[in-house]
Amino acid sequence: MSGISLDPLDWLPHRSPFLFLDTLLHIEPGVRASGEWTLKGDEWFFAGHFPGRPTTPGVLLLESIAQCGAVVVLADPRYVGRLPLFGGVENARFRRQVLPGDTVLVECEMTKLSARGGKGFGRATVHGKVAAETEIFFVLADAT
């Protein structure tokens, strides 16, 4: 993995406030990646979700998994100049709340990759306990 950037900004087109990975921990191009997302408590969604009991929306946990999966694909030289776009989710499960101050470990492993798209399995955990897990599907488009 020597020489591979662990900065999500180097891999993803996403930017604040829609970047849900702070750092990458591991990248195995075309196979798997992991990263972390720390919820500080001042994120834009906490004010309305929910007042008095801030909780990270489950769909944003799914998005963080998809972003981690996008890194897996974009780090693979076969997909230079491509952009993975969300195609769907299956079997999504939410197991625990993610609260301000939590650091989420986000992991995604590709189970199928082709020239047109693929699928993977990902999970988001806090302190070793699963918060969300899902199968993700994506299509590949030209980045420009």
Domains of the chain, each with CATH number or no CATH: 8-142 (3.10.129.10)
Active-site residue, from 14, 26, 49, 127 = 49
- How far apart CA 69 and CA 67 sit, in angstroms, is 5
Kindly state the tokens that stand for 73: 């694909």
The candidate with the shortest Cα–Cα distance to 66, out of 137, 114, 117, 10, is 137
Q: What is the pLDDT of residues 42-92, one digit of tens each?
A: 999 999 999 999 999 999 999 999 999 999 999 999 999 999 999 999 999
The candidate with the shortest Cα–Cα distance to 16, out of 37, 47, 33, is 37
- How far apart CA 125 and CA 103 sit, in angstroms, is 8
Alpha-carbon 60 to chain mean position = 9
Range 19-25 average pLDDT:
98
Residue 130 has what pLDDT? 98
Task: Verify whether residue 49 is a known catalytic residue.
Answer: yes
Alpha-carbon 97 to chain mean position = 17
